[in-house]
Amino acid sequence: MRALVIYYSYSGNTRKVSKILAEYLKQKGEVEITELKAQDESDKFFTQALRAFKKERAEILPLNFDLSQYDLLCLGTPVWAFGPAPAMNTFLDKCFGLAGKQIVLFTTYGSGAGNNRCLNYMQKILARKGAKDFRRFSIQQFKVNNPEFVLSQIREILS
Ligand SMILES: Cc1cc2nc3c(=O)[nH]c(=O)nc-3n(C[C@H](O)[C@H](O)[C@H](O)COP(=O)(O)O)c2cc1C
């Protein structure tokens, strides 16, 4: 099995979860892990939230958008204003080669407001590109430092 974990993380929570997920998947096959970096990002909460709320796309560094070589694709983002972060939106738009693919969508969140809406938004875009089998999990921001808990959520959807 060949898997890709691709994620965006501003303050590190989603990065922690992504690393735990990648380590878990290494038991099953080959795993690549890639962090999306926004080039045009504000460090102001309000601007970040507004851009996310308007479903804006960020400029991201060039990377491979062809996902056809992977068996499993895992996409992670923090929930920002009830949706994905703008860098993840860009990746969702640009990626291709998803026909029939198994997808894991994951989020980290604060209050949980908009978490499902965020996952649904991501799923809808990828389903339009032919992805078929969706699994999802979410970790509250104060639980990202509990690897056993994070692993239990991963095992629940993947084993
Ligand atoms: C701009 C911004 C908007 C946010 N909006 C939401 C939200 O709508 N719902 C929610 O539950 N958490 C929200 N949060 C909290 C983040 O989702 C949470 O802190 C997440 O774990 C951050 O992940 P990161 O450390 O990988 O960047 C928001 C945080 C920021 C910075």
pLDDT per residue over 98-125, tens digit each? 998 999 999 999 999 999 999 999 999 9
The residue whose CA is least distant from atom 27 of ligand 1 is: 10
Nearest-atom number in ligand 1 for the CA of 11 is 25
| Sequence-separated (6 or more) residues with CB below 8 Å from residue 60 | 36, 37, 38, 39, 87, 90, 91
What confidence tier does 159 reach under pLDDT thresholds 50, 70, 90? confident
**CATH no. of 2-158:** 3.40.50.360
- Torsional sign, CA 92, 22, 71, 61: positive
User: pLDDT tens digit string along 128-148?
Assistant: 999 989 999 999 999 999 999
Choice from 45, 109, 137, 141 to test ligand 1 binding pocket (greatest atom count within 8 A of CB) = 109
Domain ranges (residues) in the chain:
2-158
